[in-house]
């Protein structure tokens, strides 16, 4: 009997903790207010707990409209933690930042706005790609043949998906959309019933449907 009582007691404590945690969260809407500052990792974004600009050690005026652009050009950023101890982090290791209620994510060394926030978020980034080229007139004239290939780097704009379940970034293609929809069996099965061409065409619509059905929550401000 005592063992049953102990189990019931632990269950009540657990449920109380879950209720208390959920009670401190609000459903995300575009009106949600993100605190302004820099995110050291994905969790600091999910908990709306950035390093605030008032704790950052810098000679850049806090009211400078180019504050973040100038700050993020630095190799390292120093700040005071909750215990008043000075810390520093390499800028390339930052997860992102928030400015004017807009979140930005660090990808491939640059920061990009996240215009669509949901359980499956979306953003566009410029990535470095390696291309190859050859000289068709190598050797001179029409019969010269194709010459040796050379490689060079180029920039290409791509769409990406960000899972707010675990922070994983995926390239935006129908195969990855399939993976991310898998947690909602009904939407996933509906999506998979479409022909491949339709899945490619309607992926955005199904992401939106998924996000509406599976809202995300952030801490209350």
162-181 residue pLDDT tens: 999 999 999 999 999 999 99
Nearest-angstrom CA–CA distance, 15 and 218: 20
Sheet architecture: strand order including 56-57: 56-57, 76-80, 86-90
- What b-and-e string marks burial along 122-154, b requiring 16 or more CB atoms within 10 Å of the CB? bbebeeeeeeeeeeeeeeeeeeeeeeeeeeeee
Mean pLDDT of 141-155: 65
CA dihedral 102, 105, 111, 114 (to 10 degrees): -50
How is the chain split into domains, by residue range?
26-113, 118-221
**In 50-202, which residue ranges form alpha helices assigned H by DSSP?**
67-71, 174-181, 185-192, 196-201
CB of 161 closer than 8 Å to CB of 169: yes
Task: With a cut of 70, say whether residue 38 has pLDDT above it.
Answer: yes
Among the residue ranges 19-23, 148-152, 164-168, 173-177, the one predicted with the least confidence is 19-23
CB of 158 closer than 8 Å to CB of 125: yes
Q: pTM of the entire structure?
A: 0.79
SS3 label, residue 51? strand
Tokens 């050291």 sit on residue: 40
Interior CA angle at 12 toward 8 and 16, to 5°? 170
Task: With a cut of 50, say whether residue 136 has pLDDT above it.
Answer: yes
CB of 129 closer than 8 Å to CB of 151: no
């Amino acid at each position: 009997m005592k063992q049953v009582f102990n189990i019931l007691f632990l269950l009540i404590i657990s449920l109380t903790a879950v209720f208390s945690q959920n009670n401190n969260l609000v459903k995300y809407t575009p009106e949600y207010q993100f605190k302004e500052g820099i995110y050291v990792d994905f969790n600091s974004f999910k908990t709306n707990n950035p390093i605030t600009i008032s704790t950052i050690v810098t000679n850049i005026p806090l009211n400078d409209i180019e504050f973040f652009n100038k700050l993020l050009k630095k190799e390292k950023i120093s700040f005071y933690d909750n215990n008043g101890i000075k810390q520093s982090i390499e800028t390339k290791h930052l997860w992102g930042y928030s400015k004017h209620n807009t979140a930005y994510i660090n990808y491939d060394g640059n920061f990009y706005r996240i215009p669509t926030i949901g359980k499956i978020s979306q953003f566009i980034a410029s990535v470095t790609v390696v291309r190859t080229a050859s000289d068709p007139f190598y050797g001179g004239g029409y019969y010269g043949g194709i010459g040796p290939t050379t490689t060079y780097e180029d920039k290409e704009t791509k769409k990406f998906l960000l899972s707010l379940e675990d922070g994983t970034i995926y390239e935006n293609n129908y195969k990855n959309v399939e993976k991310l929809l898998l947690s909602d069996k009904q939407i996933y099965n509906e999506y998979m019933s479409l022909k491949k061409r339709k899945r490619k065409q309607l992926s955005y619509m199904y992401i939106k449907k998924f996000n509406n059905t599976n809202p995300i929550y952030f801490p209350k401000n």
